[in-house]
Each structure stands twice: as structure tokens, then as C-alpha cells.
């Protein structure tokens, strides 16, 4: 994942001095360049792990928000906590802990009540993106970034193998009727919420909404579903709980456009995309650009 960090660092360097200053990029740049220097010096795995620790320390100092601190602590402990899991399980738990923290920071940006608070959370989210670039515990095939020269047949075989492993990890130990009941409850809530929102704005269908209204709808629907996602955290099956962590993160980060389509059991979305798209260079770079542009919009006098 080292190359992703290089791409993001290059993009940050390419921004104007004013924009970088307003974005409060000092800590992000310092930590990122430390990582680059360590990785160039060899011992890549050790450098990755050390950089992860440095970024966790930076993140914990960035805010006093107790919920966010708990998520970052969870991220730093994920590998140790799930050391007895399969390699696939260990990988998914680390990825899920990161996804949950990133989605939380993204949500805080949306809910922030003033420019200074928004800039603070944008800076935190930018640092988290670099943290995602240091996760080296997972097969690069999860992200479609393997350095191996593979032909199409070999690549397909590897991806399908991971599709099966991820699916079995999420659903293998969970009774079908319980999953179907939860899925149907979620879809019913989505349908009720959608009808309520459309009625409030005087539209008959989602397709009639303009771009601004769709953006408001996405944010509103997440708030409407807050109680449901809080209930999923009470699920005793850790694998199923992790699945819903990815559901929320995919929707919050606008990776999958319609929460009703985030049903990987239907075959509409691949498992590899479901867990790995937020780790791809394309997503990280586009999110970095988005964060930089948003930060430049908000003026904070503090």
C-alpha cells in the first residue's frame, strides 16, 4: 500500500501554499513524509507498522471526542484482538475498524456546526486517509492492486477465492432467517424514510430530485437510520456486526450510491469491492481532493 501514500503526498504537495495552510496540513505532511522515508529505507512491513502507530498517536491528539478516540483505539488494537482469527478474518477486522473510524470522521464533517469545527474534522479525515494507506495486513488482491503479473484467468481465480472467503466470514456462522429479518427491517426503514422525505419536498420519486436535494436526502437518510445502525452494534455475532459496519461506511463515504443496493448476498456488488474500494488509490485520491476543496471553502479565524 506504500504507493498509495506516495500518490496522496504528491497531491498534497501540489496544492497551493495557502490551501495547504488553511487545511492545517502540517501534521499530515510530517507523518506522511516520515512514512515515505522509512519505507524507502527498507523493512517495509516494519515501517508500515511503525507509521500506523505514529498516525494513531497523531489522531488521538487531534480531538477530545470520546467516540472517535474509542474508534482509533479499536483500530490500533484490532490486529492484536483478532490474532486468533484466520488471515482473512484478521484482515477484515482491521479494514473494518479503519472504515468505521473514517466514516465517523466523514459524518462529523457533515454535522459540524461551524467552519472551525468542519476544518478540524476535515484535517482528521485527511490524516485517516493516510492511515488507510499504511495498512499492510491485507492481500493486495482485495484492492485489485497486486504487483504480480497475472493473466486474466489467474486474476479471476484469486478474486473469486476471496469473494468466497469474505462471504463465508460474514455469513457462514449466521442463520439465514436472522440475516433476512435484519435485511428486511433495513429495507423497510429505507422505503419508509424515502417516502417521508419525498412527501416533505413535494416529489413523487427519487429520480425527480435535483443534485442538491439528493445530497440532502443522503445526509437525512443516514440520520433517519441512526437507530438501526446503533442496534446493529448490539449483535452478538462479531462477523455480522462487521458486515453492517461496512454497510454504513460504504454509504456514508458515497462509495455505493444506494443503501438499498448494498446487499452483497444478491450479487449486485462484489465482496471485494464491498470491503476494499475505500482502500483503492482512486478513492483515496478523489477523497483527498474533496477534502482539500471543502477545507478551502471554510474560513476559520481561530
Domain ranges of the chain: 2-142+278-297, 174-271
Mean pLDDT computed over 70-79 = 83
- Per-residue pLDDT band for 98 (boundaries 50, 70, 90) equals very high
C-alpha cell at 188: 423497510
Residue 249 has pLDDT above 50, yes or no: yes
Residue 240 has pLDDT above 60, yes or no: yes
C-alpha cell at 205: 420519486
pTM metric for this prediction: 0.72
Whole-number pLDDT of residue 293:
85
Residue pointed to by grid coordinates 482512486: 282
Between CA 278 and CA 66, with CA 12 as vertex, the angle to 5 degrees is: 60
Residue pointed to by grid coordinates 476543496: 293
Mean pLDDT computed over 178-201 = 76
Residue 235 has pLDDT above 80, yes or no: no
Q: How many whole angstroms separate alpha carbon 82 and alpha carbon 60? A: 22
| Choice between 84 and 46, residue whose per-residue pLDDT is larger | 84
| Choice between 51 and 238, residue whose per-residue pLDDT is larger | 238
Helix or strand or coil: residue 225?
coil
- Per-residue pLDDT band for 45 (boundaries 50, 70, 90) equals very low
- Per-residue pLDDT band for 101 (boundaries 50, 70, 90) equals very high
Mean pLDDT computed over 4-14 = 49
Amino acid at each position: 500500500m506504500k504507493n498509495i501514500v506516495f500518490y496522496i503526498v504528491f497531491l498534497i504537495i501540489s496544492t497551493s501554499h495557502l490551501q495547504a495552510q488553511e487545511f492545517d496540513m502540517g501534521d499530515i505532511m510530517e507523518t506522511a513524509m516520515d512514512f515515505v522515508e522509512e519505507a524507502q529505507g527498507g523493512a517495509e512491513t516494519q515501517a508500515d507498522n511503525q507509521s500506523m502507530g505514529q498516525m494513531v498517536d497523531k489522531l488521538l491528539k487531534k480531538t477530545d471526542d470520546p467516540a472517535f478516540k474509542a474508534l482509533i483505539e479499536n483500530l490500533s488494537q484490532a490486529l492484536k484482538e483478532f490474532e486468533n482469527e484466520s488471515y482473512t478474518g484478521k484482515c477484515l477486522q482491521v479494514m473494518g475498524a479503519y472504515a468505521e473510524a473514517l466514516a465517523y470522521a466523514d459524518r462529523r464533517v457533515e454535522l459540524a456546526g461551524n467552519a472551525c469545527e468542519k476544518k478540524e474534522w476535515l484535517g482528521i479525515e485527511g490524516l485517516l486517509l493516510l492511515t488507510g494507506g499504511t495498512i499492510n495486513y491485507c492481500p493486495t488482491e482485495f484492492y485489485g492492486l497486486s504487483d504480480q503479473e497475472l493473466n486474466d484467468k489467474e486474476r479471476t481465480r484469486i478474486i473469486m477465492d476471496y469473494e468466497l472467503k469474505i462471504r463465508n466470514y460474514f455469513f457462514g456462522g449466521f442463520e439465514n432467517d436472522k440475516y433476512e429479518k435484519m435485511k428486511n427491517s433495513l429495507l423497510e426503514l429505507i422505503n419508509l424514510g424515502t417516502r417521508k422525505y419525498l412527501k416533505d419536498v413535494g416529489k413523487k420519486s427519487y429520480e425527480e430530485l435535483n443534485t442538491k436535494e439528493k445530497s440532502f436526502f443522503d445526509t437525512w437518510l443516514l440520520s433517519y437510520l441512526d437507530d438501526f445502525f446503533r442496534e446493529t452494534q448490539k449483535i452478538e455475532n462479531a462477523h455480522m456486526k462487521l458486515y453492517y459496519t461496512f454497510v454504513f461506511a460504504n454509504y456514508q463515504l458515497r462509495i455505493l450510491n444506494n443503501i438499498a443496493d448494498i446487499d452483497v448476498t444478491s450479487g449486485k456488488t462484489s465482496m471485494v469491492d464491498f470491503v476494499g474500494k475505500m482502500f483503492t488509490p482512486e478513492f483515496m485520491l478523489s477523497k483527498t481532493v474533496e477534502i482539500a476543496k471543502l477545507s478551502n471553502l471554510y474560513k476559520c479565524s481561530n
